[in-house]
Amino acid sequence: MKPRNLEPKELIEKLKEEHRELPALIDDTILTYQVGNLSGAFPVLVQIRDLLSQHTIDEEAVILKIILDKLNKEESEKYVDIMRDHVAIMKNVDDAVESTYTGWTETVALMENLRKISAEHHRREEEILFPKVLELL
C-alpha cells in the first residue's frame, strides 16, 4: 500500500472520518461472530485490517513527516509517541485475524480491546496531533 494522494488538510478529514467509522465495523464483526456467522465476520475483520493498514501508512508517511520536518526532536517526541500506538493497534488486529484460524476463541476479546485502544489513540490524534499538524501547515 502507498499513502493516499491527498493534501494534508484533506487527509486529516479523511482520517477523522475513518475514526468515526471504525467502532461500527468492530461492533459489526463482534455481532456477526456472536450470531454464529463466521463467514460473514471474517470479511469485516479483513476490512478493518485493510482500513487500519492504509490509515497507518497515511499517518506515518504524511502526518509524521510534517511533524519531523517542522519540529526538532524534543518538540516532536509527544507526537511521535502517539504514532507508536500503531504498533499495538496493528498487533491487535493481526492477533484477531490469526484467532480466526485457531477457532475464534479470542476474537471477541481482541476486538473489544481494539475498540478500547483505538478510541484512546484516535482521541489523542484528534486533540493533540492533528491540531499541531494543521498549525504547522
Q: What CATH number is associated with residue 57?
A: 1.20.120
pLDDT for residue 103: 85
For 58-83, write each residue's pLDDT tens digit.
Answer: 999 999 999 999 999 999 999 999 99
Burial classification of residue 3, based on how many CB atoms lie within 10 Å of its CB (0-12 exposed, 13-18 middle, 19 or more buried)? middle
Is residue 49 pLDDT above 90, yes or no? yes
2 within some domain: no
Q: What is the pLDDT of residue 46?
A: 95
Overall number of domains in the chain: 1
> What tens digit of pLDDT does each residue of 88-117 get?
999 999 999 999 998 888 999 999 999 999
Q: Is residue 34 one of the residues assigned to a domain?
A: yes
CA distance 80 to 137: 17
pLDDT value of position 1: 87
Helix (H, G, I), strand (E, B) or coil at 66: helix
Q: Could you tell me if residue 3 is inside a domain?
A: no
Mean pLDDT of 43-66: 97
1 within some domain: no
92 close to 114: Cβ distance less than 8 angstroms = yes
Q: Looking at residue 105, what is its pLDDT?
A: 87
At residue 104, the pLDDT reads 86
Report the C-alpha gap between 23 and 8 in whole angstroms. 24
Residue ranges making up the domain that contains 129: 8-136
